[in-house]
Amino acid sequence: MMQTHGSEAPRAGTTTTMDLEGDRALVITRAFRAPARLVFEAWTRAELVRRWWAPRSHGVEFVACDADVRVGGDYRYHLRHPRGDVIFYGTYREVEPTTRLVYTQCLEGHGDAAVVVTVTFTERAGVTEVVSREVYPSASVREAALASGMESGMRESLEQLDELLGSML
């Protein structure tokens, strides 16, 4: 929805697109001018994750970053923010090197309700398109959309909303 150049072919260096999908999913897409092998490494190797996951411009930095990248293995990203520490953690459910990852993501202090993240890495002509699909637990912003019973119309509606917003903001 909101933003999107979703139908375009992947191009490296294009902007990140974000779509609300269905009732509780959020899909983030971006293309990189690099082989999937390297993008997958950057996404999973702790010492590389430290380099991109906590953007300095957002005032956060890593205190610790650990990732045991295998099915059933855990990861833990400990970040420091001026307002306090934030710890993301979860477990890898599927690990298919260079093409696909599925893991849970929880935020410490916010209960056990996990977001399930599925990331796919698709390489074409030296460009790797990354699609990260976050599926939220029930009590979420997306649940409201489901409750409305307009699941299939959601995406289209939101595209209209985007146009509407574009003309109002």
Q: Which residues bind other proteins (CB under 8 A)?
A: 1-3, 13, 15-18, 20, 26, 28, 30, 32-34, 38-39, 41-42, 48, 51-53, 55, 57-58, 141-145, 147-148, 150, 153-154, 156-158, 160-161, 164-165, 167-169
Cα–Cα distance measured from residue 79 to residue 60, given in angstroms and rounded to the nearest whole number: 6
Q: How far is the CB of 45 from other proteins (least distance, A)?
A: 10
Classified as helix, coil or strand, 93 is strand
Cα–Cα distance measured from residue 21 to residue 89, given in angstroms and rounded to the nearest whole number: 24
Closer residue to other proteins in complex, CB, 28/102: 28
Closer residue to other proteins in complex, CB, 22/73: 22
Closer residue to other proteins in complex, CB, 56/72: 56
Cα–Cα distance measured from residue 138 to residue 62, given in angstroms and rounded to the nearest whole number: 29
* Residue 169 C-beta-side C-alpha neighbours within 13 Å: 7
Closer residue to other proteins in complex, CB, 20/114: 20
Q: How far is the CB of 159 from other proteins (least distance, A)?
A: 10
Q: How far is the CB of 82 from other proteins (least distance, A)?
A: 16
Query: CA angle, 115 as apex, 159 and 76 as ends, to 5°?
Result: 130
Give Cα 30 distance to the centre of its chain: 10
Closer residue to other proteins in complex, CB, 111/138: 138
Q: How far is the CB of 96 from other proteins (least distance, A)?
A: 20
Residue labelled with tokens 């997958």: 40
Cα–Cα distance measured from residue 122 to residue 72, given in angstroms and rounded to the nearest whole number: 24
Q: How far is the CB of 120 from other proteins (least distance, A)?
A: 15
